[in-house]
Structure 1
Amino acid sequence: MLMCGRPLILLLLNINLLNLSFVTSSQNASRPLFHLSGDFEDYYNEFEDITTEPPSSSPTQFEDPEPNQCFYDMCVEQQETCLKLSLEIGCLCPGLSGHHIRPSAPRLLKLSQEDGKKVVVHWCAPTSVVSYYVIWVYAKDINRTIQVEEKKRTALLEDVETGVHVCVQAVNSAGLSEHESQSCTKFEPQHSHSGLALKLGIIGGGVGLIVLLVLAILLWRHKTRHKSTARTETGRRADEVL
């Protein structure tokens, strides 16, 4: 009986040992090979959340330099229009308004008197598109006009009487400029030529008088020397006779 129970006990022990080793190996297999500490896990998670974006590859935008002002003198005639210059070389005109807006008033610079009753009108263009100019000459009984092309800045007026008013108007498809004080003036004859002639006459008269005095002195000295020479010759001849 003891002999039969001993092998049975050994068999049960072996079975228990096999079960124990299987359970142990199963538990070891389910465990991770290593365990991350809390600090390292936080660092790893933070690292995975970081996304790096490549730097922007868009090229640097360079702004075009501002265009320069057009080399355009509003008071000089026979120039190309500022609008044409702007279209050709890309410059900027000085606040030029369009054809659909009435031009502003030109600026009358001066009236220059010529021979007789001729007068030259000088003006500056307005900051507007101009098709042509109209020069007005008017008084109580006078009212006449002349038309001048856009490139002109001077006009010659014939038979201008003293006291008449001279105005310059700019014209385009929208209308005429206003008669403003800067575009009109009253003609008053200049007497600078007569004054200059008077000054020249006085200076010429003085110079002529001086020349006459010098000639008179030279003539007097010549006569005096001639008389002295004659006396000397006369005395010498008298001495020779004696």
Structure 2
Amino acid sequence: MIPRMTNPTGDLPLPLLIICLVSINPLPTASGVTGKPPDLSEYDVYEDTVTPSGLVPVSQQVIQRCDYDPCREDQTPCLTLSAATGCSCPGFTLDSDIPEAPKLKSVSYNGSGVVVRWCAPYSQVTTYVVAVEGREDELVLEETRRSGIVQDMDHRAKVCVFAVNSAGKSDGSCMMYRPVDNWLPLTSGLIGGAVGLLLLLLLVGLLWRRRRQKDMETRNV
């Protein structure tokens, strides 16, 4: 007689028994570690910030701008400063390009001639040319100049300044010159002198009259 196998868990069916055992002892994960996966937030994550010895990342390099003022007279050209010190000249065009137009600042009379002042463009320039409308002669100045004096201007005319290099001549920056402005200081001086002379004559007349009255009083006594 074959002995009958008994269910150690009682009357539970065998499939239900297997499910209970699996739930109590979870299967190992693919990595061979049982339980919940590790929390990545518990670990510190570092970026690799190692740089080659002696090299500085481009993002950390500080490029100093050249000490260059386009309106300053007789200064070293910015590209010369850049070649000597490694400073930056942003926006400069090459000498193979026609230069941009300079910026004309003022045209005024200084007592001996008409002074023309301008600021340099951000371009390579070899010379500047100052031209007056209706005149054939032009004033040619070197690249470090920011002003020039035009002689013998006694009429209203348009004055222009150009920048020149090996590629050509820039557009002109122009301003109208009005000679009537030249007479304002002279007129003011003449009026001031006339008023001063009149006051002096009036003062002399008052002193002479007072002295005369004093002499008459002395005679009467």
Normalization by structure 1: what TM-score?
Answer: 0.63
Counterparts of 2:151 and 2:111 in 1: how far apart (Å)?
Answer: 10
Counterpart in the other structure of 2:91:
95
1:127 alignment counterpart? 122
Residues 92 and 225 (structure 1 numbering): CA distance in 2 closer, same or farther, change over 3 Å?
farther
Q: Is residue 226 from structure 1 mapped to residue 218 from structure 2 by the alignment? A: yes
1:67 equivalent to 2:67? Answer no
**2:28 aligned to 17, 25, 42, which one?**
42
Deviations 1:168-188 (A, max 9, x none): 110011110013xxx112332
Bigger Cα Rg: 1
Report the residue type matching 1:45 in the other structure: G
Paired residues in the alignment total 186
User: 1:113-145: per-residue Cα shift (whole Å, max 9, x none)?
Assistant: 2435x2221111112111111111231xx3111
> What is aligned with 2:20?
none
Considering fraction of residues, name the structure with more helix.
1
Structure 2 match to 1:13: none
CA distance in 1, matches of 2:69, 2:46: 51
Deviation of the 1:41 alpha carbon = 8.2
CA contact (8 A) 2:108 2:177 kept: no
Letter in 2 for 1:162: H
Q: Does 1:198 align with 2:190?
A: yes
What does residue 142 of structure 2 align with? 149
Structure 2 match to 1:84: 80
Identical positions, percent: 30
**Alpha-carbon contact 2:125-2:163 (below 8 Å) kept:** yes
TM-score normalised over the length of structure 2: 0.69
Conserved in 2, the CA contact under 8 Å of 1:112 and 1:121? yes
RMSD: 3.3
One-letter code of the match for 1:124? Answer: C
Distance 1:78 1:72 in 2: 11
Alpha-carbon distance between aligned partners in 2 of 1:107 and 1:202, rounded to the nearest angstrom? 41
